[in-house]
């Protein structure tokens, strides 16, 4: 405990005792008279004292008996809990999974669970007439999910699938034209650059009132490709003769919510650098003909490549996995290009790279140590966000993807004017400023990324990770309860076995000070913990 906190508590105790004494004086409270005991002149004095001692012994024996009974009951409970845990471990895991699914069917799903994400994604696909699969222009092939495309193209009701190539301002112009030619052979592809600094409705009103009717726009909150996408969606709604629902789907951090915000021209959906920020389906009305459906991100299958898991998976985006993900990314990219991009000296491994980068950025801990985990997290958010410029080349020869059929592709292209779409893409390409190919980093795409669409297809690895997280929380709670019960039992034993003595408060304080000196010599003090305790103490309330 810090001296600042200790002196404050002592001051609070003195004030409290002063209040108690004043109140006692007002009430006229008197101390109870001391029991004088049995006088010597009383008859049968020895028999009375003997009976009093016998009653005292009987009370102590009864107290010890009750204490032993409590200990036996507590030990029985602990044995029953351990037996239940052992029985659950012995059970067959194949029989255990359907039982979990049955139990979860009755209870409401957790909004942060993978089952809930799959359920919401399936609802978006079922409710939509047109599905927009948002792709990152830096790795379009790695952002395509064959399971999802097959589900949409083969579904009943004639759902249409469009590809939206987002973040086109991060790749060279020649590379963008190659990817548009390659993707348009299979599905209609729209070049798009979403706005990244849109204000919500209330902030926009305040901004207009403060600055007048003219609103200044920066390069970051300009959107390109909006008119092209809206025009083709409106034409499709006119041909259908009804209000169409457009579902926006894709892997994490490809810009699904940013595309909707750009079409709405305001911040209707929550966006940020974290992966998997959208947790549930959200309906956004663009106009009288179009309703956009925002969806959670697709869950990456554990069978995908290591690079896809590092860049696309939400499970790997954690402090304990950040360093391993950076190691995978560094081994996949060219080392000279990484050194030139970050302007750092040569490194031997990923830890040395992170330490050099943290020193350059100033992300240091106490004592000048490199904060490798914090640097790894910021680096991953930069690579999945819109900061790092890298590009990948399309395959040399085009072949129809095995998960798509020629009939489904032809039916999709019939509903959209491909020539008009190509002209609109050309106008979008001309309006954007692109980086040079020499300043960008080359990336070898690993190919399609497998995803999990339905909750029944969730692998055992994902379910085990969720169950492990839940079991860890339960074990912490049970351990805390057990420790509290054991401490209560130990305190009861000490109080029962403690002899009655006339120790004063000064002696108790001396004993505490002696123990405090032993703790100082025996182990170090964590200053951060004492700071947390200082914040937790409320000095506004009276001391009790």
pLDDT for the residue 11: 96
284 within some domain: yes
66 within some domain: no
Evaluate whether 223 touches 262 at the Cβ level (below 8 Å).
Answer: yes
Do 259 and 170 lie in one domain? The reply is yes
Do 312 and 370 lie in one domain? The reply is yes
455 within some domain: yes
Average pLDDT over residues 89-113: 53
Per-residue confidence at 104, pLDDT binned at 50, 70, 90? very low
55 within some domain: no
Average pLDDT over residues 482-499: 48
Do 329 and 316 lie in one domain? The reply is yes
Per the listing, tokens 């008009």 go with 420
DSSP letter, residue 304: S
Q: Is the pTM of this model over 0.75?
A: no
CA–CA distance, 425 with 430 (Å, rounded to integer): 9
Evaluate whether 426 touches 374 at the Cβ level (below 8 Å).
Answer: no
23 within some domain: no
CA–CA distance, 415 with 234 (Å, rounded to integer): 12
The residue from 384, 410, 432 where one domain ends is 384
Do 298 and 313 lie in one domain? The reply is no
297 within some domain: yes
Classify 66 as helix, strand or coil. helix
Number of alpha carbons in the 13 Å side-chain half-sphere of residue 220: 6
CATH number at residue 342: 1.10.1580
Domain count within the chain: 2
Per-residue confidence at 462, pLDDT binned at 50, 70, 90? low
Evaluate whether 163 touches 180 at the Cβ level (below 8 Å).
Answer: no
Tens-place pLDDT, residues 424-457:
888 888 888 888 888 888 888 888 888 877 766 6
CA–chain centroid gap for 136, Å, is 22
How many Cβ atoms from other residues are within 10 Å of residue 380's Cβ? Answer: 23
pLDDT for the residue 328: 86
pLDDT for the residue 521: 39
Return the ∠ at Cα 296 (arms to 125 and 414), rounded to 5°: 35
Q: CB neighbours of 400 closer than 8 A, spacing ≥ 6?
A: 186, 406, 409
Do 203 and 313 lie in one domain? The reply is no
Do 299 and 316 lie in one domain? The reply is no
Average pLDDT over residues 249-271: 85
Task: Single out the residue of 332, 319, 330 nearest to residue 378, CA to CA.
Answer: 319
pLDDT for the residue 316: 54
* pLDDT of residue 318 exceeding 80: no
Tens-place pLDDT, residues 500-521:
333 444 443 444 444 444 433 3
Do 378 and 397 lie in one domain? The reply is no
Evaluate whether 152 touches 367 at the Cβ level (below 8 Å).
Answer: no
**Range in 32-36, 375-379, 495-499 with the lowest mean pLDDT:** 495-499
Tens-place pLDDT, residues 174-232:
999 999 999 988 889 999 988 876 655 444 444 444 444 444 445 556 888 888 888 88
Do 145 and 288 lie in one domain? The reply is yes
Task: Name which residue leads in pLDDT, 149 or 476.
Answer: 149
Rg (C-alpha) for the chain, rounded Å, is: 35
DSSP letter, residue 8: H
Evaluate whether 461 touches 302 at the Cβ level (below 8 Å).
Answer: yes
Per-residue confidence at 364, pLDDT binned at 50, 70, 90? confident
Do 175 and 312 lie in one domain? The reply is no
Angle between helix 460-497 and 114-127 (nearest 10): 140
Write out the DSSP string of 154-172: TSTT--EEEEEEE-GGGS-
Per-residue confidence at 13, pLDDT binned at 50, 70, 90? very high
521 within some domain: no
Q: Which domain holds residue 313?
A: 306-384
pLDDT for the residue 19: 94
Average pLDDT over residues 400-423: 84
CATH number at residue 259: 3.40.50.300
Do 149 and 297 lie in one domain? The reply is yes
Do 210 and 271 lie in one domain? The reply is yes
The residue from 420, 441, 462 where one domain ends is 462
Per-residue confidence at 481, pLDDT binned at 50, 70, 90? low
512 within some domain: no
Environment class of 483 (CB within 10 Å of its CB; exposed 0-12, middle 13-18, buried 19+): exposed
Tens-place pLDDT, residues 328-347:
888 888 888 888 888 889 88
Do 266 and 403 lie in one domain? The reply is yes
pLDDT for the residue 483: 52
The residue from 442, 462, 482 where one domain ends is 462
CA–CA distance, 192 with 230 (Å, rounded to integer): 12
Tens-place pLDDT, residues 33-78:
777 788 888 888 888 888 888 999 999 999 999 999 999 999 898 8
CA–CA distance, 265 with 268 (Å, rounded to integer): 9
* pLDDT of residue 4 exceeding 90: yes
Tens-place pLDDT, residues 170-188:
899 999 999 999 998 888 9
Return the ∠ at Cα 349 (arms to 346 and 354), rounded to 5°: 80
**Mean of the per-residue pLDDT values of the chain:** 76
């Amino acid at each position: 405990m810090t001296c600042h906190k200790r002196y404050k508590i002592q001051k609070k105790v003195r004030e409290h005792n002063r209040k108690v004494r004043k109140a006692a004086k007002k009430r006229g409270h008197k101390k109870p008279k001391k029991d004088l005991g049995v006088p010597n002149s009383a008859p049968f004095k020895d028999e009375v004292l003997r009976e009093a001692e016998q009653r005292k012994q009987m009370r102590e024996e009864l107290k010890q008996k009750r204490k032993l009974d409590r200990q036996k009951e507590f030990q029985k409970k602990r044995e029953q809990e351990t037996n239940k845990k052992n029985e659950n471990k012995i059970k067959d895991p194949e029989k255990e999974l359907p039982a979990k699914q049955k139990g979860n069917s009755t209870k409401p799903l957790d909004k942060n669970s993978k089952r809930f994400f799959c359920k919401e994604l399936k609802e978006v696909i079922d409710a939509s007439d047109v599905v927009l699969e948002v792709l990152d222009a830096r790795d379009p092939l790695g952002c395509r999910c064959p399971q999802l495309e097959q589900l949409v193209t083969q579904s009943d009701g004639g759902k249409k699938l469009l590809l939206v190539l987002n973040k086109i301002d991060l790749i060279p112009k020649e590379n963008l034209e190659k990817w548009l030619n390659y993707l348009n052979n299979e599905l209609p592809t729209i070049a798009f650059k979403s706005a990244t600094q849109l204000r919500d409705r209330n902030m926009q009103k305040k901004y207009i009132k403060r600055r007048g009717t003219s609103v200044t726009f920066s390069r970051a909150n300009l959107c390109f490709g909006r008119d092209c996408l809206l025009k083709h969606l409106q034409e499709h709604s006119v041909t259908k003769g009804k209000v169409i629902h457009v579902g926006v789907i894709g892997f994490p951090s490809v810009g699904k919510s940013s595309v909707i915000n750009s079409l709405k021209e305001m911040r209707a959906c929550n966006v940020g650098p974290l992966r998997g920020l959208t947790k549930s389906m959200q309906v956004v009305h663009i106009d009288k003909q179009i309703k956009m459906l925002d969806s959670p991100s697709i869950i990456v299958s554990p069978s995908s490549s290591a690079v896809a898991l590092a860049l696309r998976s939400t499970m790997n985006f954690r402090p304990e996995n950040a360093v391993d993900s950076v190691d995978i990314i560094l081994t996949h990219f060219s080392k000279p290009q990484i050194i030139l991009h970050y302007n750092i000296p040569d490194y031997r491994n990923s830890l040395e790279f992170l330490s050099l980068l943290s020193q350059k950025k100033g992300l240091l801990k106490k004592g000048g140590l490199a904060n490798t985990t914090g640097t790894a997290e910021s680096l991953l958010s930069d690579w999945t966000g819109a900061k790092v410029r890298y590009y990948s080349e399309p395959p040399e020869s085009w072949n129809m993807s095995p998960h798509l059929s020629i009939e489904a592709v032809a039916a999709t292209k019939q509903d959209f004017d491909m020539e008009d779409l190509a002209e609109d893409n050309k106008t979008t390409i001309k309006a954007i400023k692109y980086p040079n190919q020499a300043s960008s980093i080359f990336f070898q795409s690993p190919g399609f990324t497998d995803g999990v669409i339905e909750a029944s297809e969730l692998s055992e690895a994902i379910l085990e990770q969720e169950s492990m997280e839940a079991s860890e929380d339960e074990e912490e709670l049970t351990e805390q309860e057990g420790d509290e019960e054991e401490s209560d039992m130990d305190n009861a034993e000490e109080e029962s076995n403690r002899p009655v003595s006339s120790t004063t408060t000064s002696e108790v304080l001396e004993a505490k000070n002696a123990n405090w000196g032993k703790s100082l010599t025996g182990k170090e003090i964590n200053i951060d913990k004492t700071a947390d305790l200082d914040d937790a103490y409320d000095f506004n309330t009276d001391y009790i």
